[in-house]
A and B are shown apart, each in its own frame.
Chain A
Amino acid sequence: MSERRIVDARGSFCPGPLMELIVAMKQMQVGDTLELLSTDVGSAKDVPEWVRKVGHEMEGTEQDPQGTWHLHVRKKK
Chain B
Amino acid sequence: MRVLVVGGGMGGTIFANNLARRVASELKSGKVRLTMLSASDKHIYQPGWLYVAMGRMTPDELEREQASLLEPGIAFHVDPVETFHLAENHVTTKSGKVHGYDMLVISTGSRPTPQDVPGLTENSVNCYSAENALQYFERLNTFKGGRIVIAVGLPHKCPMIPLEVTFAMYDFVKDRGLLDKTEFYYTYPIGRVHSLENVAKWAAPEFDRLGIRHETLFNIKSVDGEKAVVHSEEGSEVKYDLLVAVPPHRGQEVIEKNGLGKNGWIPTDRYSLHMEGEHGKNVIVLGDTTNLPISKAGSTTHFEAEVAAENVASVIKIGRSVRSYDGKVFCFIEAGKDRATYAMFNYTTPPQPRAPNGAVHAFKMAYNKLYWASARGLL
Contact = CB atoms under 8 A, between A and B. Distances in A.
Interface of A: 7-20, 22-23, 26-27, 42, 46, 49-50, 53-54
15 contacts: A14-B343, A15-B154, A16-B195, A16-B293, A18-B191, A19-B154, A19-B190, A20-B293, A22-B219, A42-B197, A46-B190, A49-B217, A50-B190, A50-B191, A54-B219
B195 A14 contact: yes
Given A27-B262, A50-B217, A19 B155 contact: yes
Contact of A15 (B195, B217, B343, B351): B195
B118 interface: no
A10 B347 CA distance: 8
Nearest to B152: A19
B35 interface: no
Contacts of B329: 14
Contacts of A26: 154
Given A12-B293, A42-B197, A50-B190, 4 more contacts: A13-B196, A14-B294, A19-B189, A50-B191
Interface of B: 154-155, 159, 189-191, 195-197, 217, 219, 233-235, 262-263, 270, 293-295, 327, 329, 343, 345, 347-348, 350-351
A13 B263 contact: no
B294 A12 contact: yes
Nearest to B327: A11
A9 B159 CA distance: 16
A12 B348 CA distance: 8
B51 to A, nearest CB: 22
Contacts of B327: 11
Most buried by B among A17, A19, A26: A19
Contacts of A7: 293
Contacts of B190: 16, 18-19, 22, 46, 50
A9 B220 CA distance: 22
Given A14-B196, A19-B190, A22-B189, A53 B295 contact: no
Contacts of B189: 18-19, 22
B75 to A, nearest CB: 36
Nearest to B294: A12
A53 B197 contact: no
B163 to A, nearest CB: 12
Contacts of A17: 293
A20 to B, nearest CB: 5
A27 to B, nearest CB: 6
A-B pairs with lowest CB-CB distance, top 3: A11-B347, A12-B293, A14-B195
